[in-house]
């Protein structure tokens, strides 16, 4: 079965799918996106992801590419046509195709919509969670609207490449006060010596991760305490546990920060409990 992508109203073979060279996403990164996890045949937290997409579009004055109510159906269709039971579905909306001028194109220019889906092996993620991941820290060098899920991800690309070259799997952006902001494609968490979950407030300077939001629900169910506050790299290195969250990693233990092991260098039990309970608590839309 060939992979199928949805591109501006058409279902096309993924390998042959293309967009116009004057798509503003291609030329200016003038677009936004969402990634939802697909697990056991369900799209995870789809309403929350689509609500954030709506916010991103509004913040950038990009028009809906299709009527809002149709999008869940399109996501399901792309997941179904690709036979994805476990994996992810990706949605991207750009300001559309127009002659290359910085200012917005003429009113009525249709925004462009691409939806793809990809299979992933849950056994591989489970295996990774057993050993945990390593992170490096990098100075924050992004713009201050990272609350918008924009496709402009060059600093994230460079930070994650740097992590890879250092033998790590994620890079944490650190602000000028020495506090951790978030990862290149994830939110950052620690568990204090007293067993309190700590993550930076999402009001400013980070993306309000959907997994982060749902982990608040999971923590409430498990009776765990959360403090929303900044934490420094030094505090993270001295923490009982550290982990990242994102739609594709859920809660993934961090066992090393800049080469320093966290606690005994093994995944933390609270992180693994959150990971374990996540699917039950998350909202599941049958694909
Ligand atoms: N921060 C950044 C910069 C991200 O790219 C992501 C992943 N999209 C997240 C946080 C986590 O967000 P979510 O839980 O919605 O995947």
Could you give the 3-state DSSP secondary structure of residue 73? Answer: helix
Domain count, the chain: 2
What's the pLDDT score for residue 95?
98
Residues 104 and 149 in one domain: no
> 97-115 burial by CB neighbour count: b if 16+ within 10 A, else e?
bbeeeeeebeeeeebbbbb
**What is the average pLDDT score of the chain?**
98
Host domain of residue 28: 4-120
- Render pLDDT for 142-195 as a digit per residue (tens, 0 to 9): 999 999 999 999 999 999 999 999 999 999 999 999 999 999 999 999 999 999
- Render pLDDT for 269-283 as a digit per residue (tens, 0 to 9): 999 999 999 999 999
CA torsion through residues 207, 210, 214, 215, sign: negative
- Render pLDDT for 215-259 as a digit per residue (tens, 0 to 9): 999 999 999 999 999 999 999 999 999 999 999 999 999 999 999
Joined together, the tokens standing for residue 51 give 């609500």
- Indicate the residue among 120, 151, 186 that finishes a domain: 120
- Taking residues 193-220, what's their average pLDDT? 97
The CATH number given to whatever domain includes residue 61 is 3.30.470.10
Residues 183 and 102 in one domain: no
Centre of ligand 1 from the C-alpha of residue 99, in Å: 31
What's the pLDDT score for residue 204?
83
Query: Best mutation site among 246, 248, 249, 283 for ligand 1, i.e. most ligand atoms within 8 A of its Cβ?
Result: 246
Residues 152 and 54 in one domain: no
Residues 72 and 98 in one domain: yes
Centre of ligand 1 from the C-alpha of residue 92, in Å: 14
Active site residues: 149
Residues 103 and 153 in one domain: no
Residues 130 and 181 in one domain: yes
Predicted TM-score (pTM) of the model is 0.98
The CATH number given to whatever domain includes residue 225 is 3.20.10.10
Strands 241-246 and 180-183: unpaired
What's the pLDDT score for residue 237?
98
**Does the pLDDT value for residue 210 go beyond 90?**
yes
């Amino acid at each position: 079965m060939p992979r199928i992508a949805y591109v501006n109203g058409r279902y096309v073979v993924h390998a042959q799918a293309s967009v116009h060279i004057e798509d503003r996403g291609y030329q200016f990164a003038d677009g936004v996106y969402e990634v939802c996890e697909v697990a056991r045949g369900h799209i995870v937290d789809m309403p929350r992801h689509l609500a954030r997409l709506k916010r991103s579009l509004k913040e950038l004055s990009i028009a809906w590419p299709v009527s809002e109510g149709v999008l869940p159906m399109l996501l399901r269709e792309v997941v179904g046509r690709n036979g994805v039971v476990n994996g992810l579905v990706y949605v991207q909306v750009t300001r559309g195709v127009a002659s290359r001028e910085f200012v917005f194109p003429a009113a009525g220019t249709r925004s462009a919509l691409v939806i793809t889906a990809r299979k992933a092996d849950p056994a591989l993620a489970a295996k990774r969670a057993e050993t945990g991941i390593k992170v490096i820290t990098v100075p924050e060098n992004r713009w201050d609207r990272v609350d918008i899920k924009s496709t402009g991800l060059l600093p994230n690309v460079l930070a994650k490449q740097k992590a890879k070259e250092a033998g790590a799997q994620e890079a944490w952006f650190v602000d000028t006060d020495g506090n951790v902001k978030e990862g290149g494609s994830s939110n950052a968490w620690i568990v204090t010596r007293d067993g309190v979950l700590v993550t930076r407030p999402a009001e400013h300077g980070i993306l309000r991760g959907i997994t982060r939001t749902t982990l608040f629900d999971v923590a409430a169910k498990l009776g765990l305490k959360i403090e929303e506050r900044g934490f420094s790299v030094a505090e993270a290195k001295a923490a009982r546990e550290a982990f990242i969250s994102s739609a594709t990693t859920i809660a993934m233990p961090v066992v090393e920060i800049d080469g320093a092991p966290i606690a005994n260098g093994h995944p933390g039990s609270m992180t693994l409990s959150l990971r374990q309970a996540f699917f039950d608590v998350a909202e599941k839309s049958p694909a």
